[in-house]
Structures are given as C-alpha cells and as structure tokens.
Copies of this chain bind each other. A is one copy, B any other.
C-alpha cells in the first residue's frame, strides 16, 4: 500500500506538505489539488499506527465491560457509540468477563494503543488499576463507581433508590417475606441495590427485620441457584427482589420449575429486557437508563479530552420503577 512518500513523489511535493493537506493545515490551492489527486490515484490512506506513534494518540475509544451477554451493557454500548461517532471516534468493546486479569490485559492494550479514552465498568473496586491511563492523560470514565486506584469521572444510576422503590412496592402489595438476590459483594451496584432493599425494610411500618439475602453472580445460572435455594429452604419467601435482569430470568425459571408464578409470588427486578414482555403475568422492574448512561459516559470522555484538568465528576441518572400487573390477590 502506498505511503506518504509515494504520494509526495507523485504530487511533486514533500511528505510534510502531504501531511499538511491531510490535516488541514494551510497549503497553496495548487499543491493541495495535486496532493489530493495523488492520494486518490494511489488509494492512499494514512497509516494509523505510524500516526499514533508520532501523535501519541489514536481515535479509538475503548469500552471495557463486565459481561458481553448482559443486555444492560449492550444497550450502554449503543449509547457510547452514538456519541463517539459524532466525534469521529471508533468504539471497540472489550469483554472483561468480570475477571480482573482479563480486565488488566485490556487496560494494557488501551494504554499501549494510547486510546482516545476508556470507559470501564470495573470488575473490582479494589483491584482495577487505572493510574497508568490517568498518568498518560487518557480520559477514563467509570460506570457505577470509580475504582479506588484513582478518582475518575463516573456515571451511575440511582441504584439505592431504585431498589428501595421496588422493595417498597412489594411491601405495599402485601408481601410479607421478601428476599433479595443480589450480585457479588465486590460489585458496587450489587451493594447499593442491597442497601436500598434493606432500607425499605427498615423504613416500612412496622419495620421489618432480617430479610433473606443471597449473593449471586449477576448471571442466569446464579439467579436460578439462588432462587432454588430460597424456595427449597425451610422458610421460603413469598416475594423476591432481584438486582439484575439475567438473574431475574434464572429466578423465574426456578419458580416455574416449582409451578410458582406471580402473583402467588412477588417478583421485582432490576433492568429492562426485551423479553420481559413475554413473561406473563408480567413483573415490576426498575428501569435502568443503560443507553443514557453510555451517552453520558462518552460525553464525559469527550469533555475531558478537551480539558484534561477538570475535577472528576459523577453523574447519577434516575432509575424508574415500572409497575406491571399489580393485581395481587392475597390468599
């Protein structure tokens, strides 16, 4: 493939001039025309690696997510892409799979390739290390919660309040023994949602004590197992608040296997899923603005790219309780 020297020769100018044409610096119209003609003729496209080496930057935005199969992250990715494209950035997705080691590998790639920015949903609040990125001036935006290694821009949804609302709703519907299936203890979101769940219990009238809590892994299988254990326990719950949509699918399956379904058992879940409409009777869910979280995160990257010394800011987007099928008929 043709390089900038070939083009320069073909156009009868120096490589510097070709570079200037490519980057919009001032060049006499006559030369500019010759350069453009030569570029077209030779099918020249500037080598991004060479450019990246010299410029110490690239126009690729890294998005490191915890689980590629989780619709929350795929919707988020859409939001990131839509904003990135307005700034002519390409988005590459990296699936860290909740594994700090894989995550570290991708952070290395982002660092080494001098990506234009990194949006990351940290696998671990303590282990995720973004200091090198920051040190090199690469904008980093965290989803949910800033890693401890460095304070960075963060976009989160109002998880605690969402969980509070969902749990209160179940209480209002008359359920007595409400359990919670939440994510791993290392996950900020899992912890916040559990807090909201517990607060709803404390603040109910009369206050309720010691609801059952299961920690799972935010995956379908984990949700299934947690629900199965709850249902098969000596004192099974009559309702459950599940803190993400994949686990909700698993939990529902466990219920179905036991011929249980709403409203005999109350279910509220975090997250939207296109399949949730197919579950009838339907369940209440806490809508997470995944797409908008993605948009906001990408906007923060762009903002910080312009002026790197801004103080880190946190954007919290509201969650919204969507009530469906509240026709509980207490038995």
Contact = CB atoms under 8 A, between A and B. Distances in A.
Tell which of A60, A97, A106, A277 has the most Cβ of chain B within 10 Å: A277
Contact of A256 (B69, B111, B132, B277): B277
B53 A50 contact: yes
B253 A114 contact: no
A68 B74 contact: yes
Interface stretch (A86-94, A119-127, A233-241): A86-94
A93 B109 CA distance: 14
29 contacts: A45-B108, A45-B111, A47-B112, A48-B109, A48-B112, A48-B113, A49-B112, A49-B113, A49-B114, A68-B78, A68-B93, A69-B75, A78-B95, A81-B97, A90-B94, A90-B109, A91-B95, A92-B94, A93-B93, A93-B94, A113-B113, A249-B277, A249-B278, A250-B274, A252-B278, A253-B278, A256-B278, A273-B275, A278-B278
A136 B97 CA distance: 32
Cβ-closest 6 pairs across A and B? A48-B112, A275-B275, A92-B92, A93-B93, A69-B74, A49-B53
A77 interface: yes
A contacts with B: majority SS: helix
A253 B279 contact: no
Given A78-B69, A93-B93, A275 B249 contact: yes
Given A69-B71, A78-B95, A279-B279, 5 more contacts: A45-B108, A91-B94, A93-B95, A249-B275, A253-B278
A314 to B, nearest CB: 26
Contacts of A109: 48, 60, 90, 92
Contacts of A275: 249, 273, 275, 278-279
Nearest to A114: B49
Contacts of A136: 1
A71 B119 CA distance: 22
Nearest to A60: B109
A222 to B, nearest CB: 12
A212 interface: no
Interface string A239-256: 000000010011011001
A181 interface: no
Contact of A95 (B81, B106, B280): B81
Nearest to A275: B275
Contact of A277 (B49, B90, B253): B253
A274 B324 CA distance: 22
